[in-house]
């Protein structure tokens, strides 16, 4: 089984990764960008390329001890100077000498043969599966109500003085305040977005790449969670 590598950083050794790669109910991958592939009918299919990097099981949560079942996984070892003692102690049994850049959790029934240090297989998902995708959308800073909420705005001419402004926002004497949830200018993007029923177009085990149909929220290198539906 291959080692977990990170440009020379301390990594789990082959001896620390026990058994065969496990298959979970989903995966974590990193967004690379979009491309186009052609299906058997010769139709062009827009896809998002997701880069899979080796994830190692760092903790197994059970109903008796934690109140629910889940598998915690870790990826990309940190340098020693960037890791604290609690990180090192927590990940030591998984084969990490230091902390990890990413420590995530997959809630599911415990897979058979799961043990600390086992590597998660990219074949946890297969071609044709439909998954639920969760990732962080691009942050676009402070935006007006027209861009943020799609308001139509006002007339462009004849001295209206109302073009891209949000318009009146108050109420009458009662309740005499602006109600919660009113659509105002503010932060646009940089929020967790979930897209359901996304088809897995291809799993390339040789290059550790997944192709999913359509766009995926977020910028390049955004961490994407895929869970089989």
- pLDDT band at residue 19 using 50, 70 and 90 as cut-offs: very low
Whether residues 90 and 74 share a domain: the answer is: yes
% the chain with pLDDT above 90:
83
Whether residues 108 and 221 share a domain: the answer is: yes
The pLDDT of residue 11 is 45
Task: Give domain status of residue 117, yes or no.
Answer: yes
For 68-115, give the DSSP string.
Answer: S-EEEEEEEEPPGGG--HHHHHHHGGGT-SS-EEEEEEEESPPPTT--
pLDDT tens column, 120-177: 999 999 999 999 999 999 999 999 999 999 999 999 999 998 899 988 888 899 999 9
Task: Give domain status of residue 163, yes or no.
Answer: yes
Task: Give domain status of residue 47, yes or no.
Answer: yes
Mean pLDDT in the chain?
A: 90
Task: Give domain status of residue 6, yes or no.
Answer: no
pLDDT tens column, 25-80: 999 999 999 999 999 999 999 999 999 999 999 999 999 999 999 999 999 999 99
Q: What total number of domains does the chain contain?
A: 2
Give yes or no for a contact between 126 and 203, defined as CB atoms under 8 angstroms apart.
yes
Q: What are phi and psi of 124, to 5 degrees?
A: -60, -30
The pLDDT of residue 20 is 65
| Domain of residue 72, residue span | 14-138+190-228
Task: Give domain status of residue 82, yes or no.
Answer: yes
């Amino acid at each position: 089984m291959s080692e977990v590598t990170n440009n020379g950083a301390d990594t789990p050794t082959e001896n620390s990764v026990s058994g065969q790669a496990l298959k979970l109910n989903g995966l974590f991958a990193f967004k690379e960008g979009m491309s186009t592939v052609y299906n058997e009918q010769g139709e062009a299919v827009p896809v998002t390329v997701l880069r899979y990097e080796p994830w190692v099981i760092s903790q197994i949560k059970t109903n008796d001890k934690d109140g629910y079942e889940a598998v915690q996984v870790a990826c990309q070892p940190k340098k020693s100077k960037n890791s604290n003692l609690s990180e090192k102690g927590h990940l030591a049994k998984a084969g990490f000498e230091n902390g990890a850049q990413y420590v995530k959790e997959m809630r599911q029934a415990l897979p058979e043969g799961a043990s600390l240090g086992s590597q998660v297989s990219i074949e946890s998902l297969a071609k044709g599966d439909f998954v639920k995708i969760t990732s962080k959308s691009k942050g676009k800073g402070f935006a007006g109500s027209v861009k943020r909420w799609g308001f139509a705005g006002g007339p462009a001419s004849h001295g209206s003085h109302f073009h891209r402004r949000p318009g009146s926002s108050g109420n009458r004497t009662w309740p005499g305040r602006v109600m919660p949830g009113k659509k105002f200018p503010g932060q646009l993007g940089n929020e967790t977005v979930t897209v359901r029923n996304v088809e897995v177009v291809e799993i390339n085990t040789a290059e550790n790449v997944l192709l999913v149909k359509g766009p995926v929220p977020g910028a390049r290198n955004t961490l994407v969670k895929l869970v089989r539906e």
